[in-house]
A and B are shown apart, each in its own frame.
Chain A
Amino acid sequence: MIRIEVTRRPQPSRLLSAFSPLIALGLTIIAGSIMFMALGKNPVAALYSYFVEPLTEVWSLHELAIKAAPLILIAVGLSVCYRANVWNIGAEGQFTFGAIFGSALPVLLPGFQGPLVLPLMLLCGVVGGMAWAFIPAVLKVRFGTNEILTSLMLVYVAGLFLDWLVRGPWRSPEGFNFPETIRFHEDAVLPAIWFASGRAHWGFVFAIVAAVAVWFLLERTLKGFEIRMMGQSPRAARFAGFSSGKVVFFALLLSGGLAGLAGISEVSGAIGQLRPVISPGYGFAAIIVAFLGRLNPLGIIAAGLVLALSYLGGEAAQISLGISDKAARVFQGLLLFFVLASDTLIHYRVRLMRTVKAGGGDA
């Protein structure tokens, strides 16, 4: 019998901190090759179309930025929550509500145009996300209600509310009754960053700016210290005079606001109207991104790009090799598993042991 034994390192390994993503990639390539061969596909071609093909063309890089932007924006906010031990898993709902609030202006007042429209929309988006996150925050602080559940339940409620709006009061009068709002006028559309080369919009810039700003907040300010302390040892934080209620509000409102900004950016920049479905589950995927990025806003930028690549790569593989969507998802799942497992190496020493006497090397 061989078993795996894990022991904590005295200090996180710097070397492995840098190399663990490569180890994960290597393991994913091996496991993926086996799977692709079992499916009767050429593993080299499959891996190429998965990891390289989406990066070889400029338009595709734009698409990568579009896909990564909401993931990064949301995940950055979530990292603050999770560092503070606040388990917001309802970012999908905050994203939706931000999109609804932000869209109110161009949908209800299409006559109001000009350069003010877009900033107001973005502001409303942030407020909408915050408002939706305020509910679990107030329920947690006032009644001690678990935020995992309330934030998750509110995801469904927000989705159904959006559904009701676009099928009912906000439905486009010219749309033959189909469930969608009018298309936003030009002033309400988030412009492309660099129009000539592709359609990536300013949402990506927001994401990067937010990541850097939150990184600064967490690592270099007193508020960041308060948040981290509240997460690591709430009792000590309370002795230090920090209020746990305030931290809960701060973390949830910040992450809600960023999710709301992601929502309105996606609707305004990439879709151009409200529709019953505006997110393919960004709010949930961002949870993975937050952890892949080790809850560090800068790491989250990289993680968001990697996850976005795995979506684009999955499509490329479907088209060029006929690898099914399901296989692409299995591959994505494997990638996530290996990344998570490899990160263990940073904090822990992993050994393969024979049952009685110690043996084997580092795994």
Chain B
Amino acid sequence: MLEAILLTIATAATPLLLAAIGELVAERSGVLNLGVEGMMIMGAVAAFAVAYTTGNPWLGALAGALAGVSFSLLFGLLTLTLATNQVASGLALTILGLGASGMLGESFVGLPGVKLEAVSIPVLSDLPLVGRLLFGQDPFFYLSILLGIGVWWFLFRSRAGLELRSVGANHASAHALGLKVIRVRYLAVMFGGLCAGLAGAQLTLVYTPQWVENMSAGRGWIALALVVFASWRPGRIVVGAYLFGAVSIGQLHAQALGIGLPSQLLSALPYLATIAVLVLISRDRRATLMNTPASLGQPFVPDR
């Protein structure tokens, strides 16, 4: 039973983790994209449509990623090229995404989707205890974990990652050092779109293989919260996503076991837990400040 519960938690946490990892990279470069929900839902509808039409879920995942990227380019055009306000543009992107996905998906409502099946890694998946949990999952799970590690390595162990972080920390001096601020940010925003699109694809290909309007149901916002929760550190994002998943699944189990607490209180637990943990970690003020991209949300236009 424990294994089954952990598998459920992993499925619930994966889309949050994917979207949050992407947003983390964007925010580390100094771009706050509040349009995660919009990019995610576009990824979801594109993935469903392509997987359903072609019968191939892998193509669907690809389409989801592409949809996320193209939507993030729209955001980039506005905020990076035209230097519009990032908060407002992100919100507008979400409105646009929810509307556009509903329009595109109209003919796919009520159709059973194509599921991207789990891929068991031979030998390893037969390990006792952790075998199925770590090596018998769907491709999105592996991807989310690999991306978490990859992004950590990229940000803190590679030169390009250092450049990205310095662009986010102080775009003026990064520019003075000869870094191409806008190009770095475009790439970061596109990576964010790619991940959000994949998160959406996970929803329609693994989590609940079907398409219905607004099915992301606020997961993009939770991903955004996770980034801040993690104080912009990839490792903590993994922990945060799984913590959030565990609390939401745990409250369902608590109910099924007949614990007589108001269900609203149980539903509020993940949010309260997030606040509590956040307060605990942010008491270490210096560490938090060190990790916060100082240029977050500020437009950059090179003076010449």
Contacts and interface: CB of A to CB of B under 8 A. Distances in A.
B98 interface: yes
Interface in A1-53: 4, 6-8
B272 A157 contact: yes
A59 interface: no
Contacts of A337: 74, 78, 89, 92, 96
Given A139-B279, A168-B262, A336-B95, 10 more contacts: A6-B83, A8-B303, A160-B268, A163-B264, A164-B264, A284-B91, A326-B102, A330-B103, A340-B85, A341-B78
A152 B221 contact: yes
Interface in B252-274: 262, 264-265, 267-268, 271-272, 274
Contact of A330 (B96, B224, B301, B303): B96
A4 B265 contact: no
A153 B225 contact: yes
A143 B304 contact: no
A332 B271 CA distance: 30
Contacts of A333: 92-93, 95-97, 99-100
Interface in B270-292: 271-272, 274-275, 278-279, 282-283, 285, 288-289, 292
B262 A343 contact: no
A329 interface: yes
A156 B278 contact: no
Contacts of A336: 88, 91-92, 95-96
A157 B96 CA distance: 27
Nearest to B105: A326
Contacts of A153: 225, 271-272, 274-275
Contacts of B228: 146, 148-149
A242 interface: no
Contact of A341 (B84, B99, B297): B84
Interface of B: 74, 78, 81-85, 87-89, 91-93, 95-100, 102-103, 106, 213, 221, 224-225, 228-229, 262, 264-265, 267-268, 271-272, 274-275, 278-279, 282-283, 285, 288-289, 292, 297, 301, 303-304
Contact of A144 (B84, B213, B225, B288): B288
Given A291-B87, A332-B95, A146 B282 contact: yes
Nearest to A340: B84
A262 B70 CA distance: 37
Main secondary structure of the interface of A (DSSP, over half): helix
B297 to A, nearest CB: 8
Interface in A87-121: 87, 89
Given A144-B288, A144-B289, A330 B99 contact: yes
Contacts of A327: 99, 103
Nearest to B292: A146
Contacts of A152: 221, 224-225
Nearest to A329: B99
Interface in A142-178: 143-146, 148-150, 152-154, 156-157, 160-161, 163-164, 167-168
21 contacts: A87-B87, A89-B87, A139-B275, A139-B279, A143-B283, A146-B282, A148-B228, A149-B275, A152-B224, A152-B225, A153-B271, A153-B272, A154-B271, A325-B99, A330-B96, A333-B97, A333-B99, A336-B92, A340-B92, A343-B84, A344-B82
A192 interface: no
Interface residues of A, number: 52
Contacts of B88: 287-288, 290-292, 336, 340
A146 B278 contact: yes
A305 to B, nearest CB: 17
Q: Name which of A160, A163, A325, A347 has the most chain B CB atoms within 10 A of its CB.
A: A160
Contacts of B92: 288, 333, 336-337, 340
A162 to B, nearest CB: 9
A324 interface: yes
Contacts of B213: 326
B278 A150 contact: yes
Contacts of B268: 156-157, 160-161
A278 interface: no
Interface of A: 4, 6-8, 82, 87, 89, 139, 143-146, 148-150, 152-154, 156-157, 160-161, 163-164, 167-168, 284, 287-288, 290-292, 324-334, 336-337, 340-341, 343-344, 347-348, 350
A7 B106 CA distance: 42
B103 A340 contact: no
A343 B79 CA distance: 12
A348 B83 contact: yes
A350 B83 CA distance: 10
Closest 4 CB pairs of A and B: A333-B96, A329-B99, A291-B88, A326-B102
Contacts of A150: 275, 278
A329 B96 contact: yes
A149 B281 CA distance: 13
Contacts of A89: 87
Nearest to A167: B264
Nearest to A85: B297
A82 B78 CA distance: 20
B275 A154 contact: yes
A284 B272 CA distance: 20
Given A146-B282, A326-B102, A348 B89 contact: no
A349 to B, nearest CB: 10
Nearest to A153: B271
Nearest to A165: B264
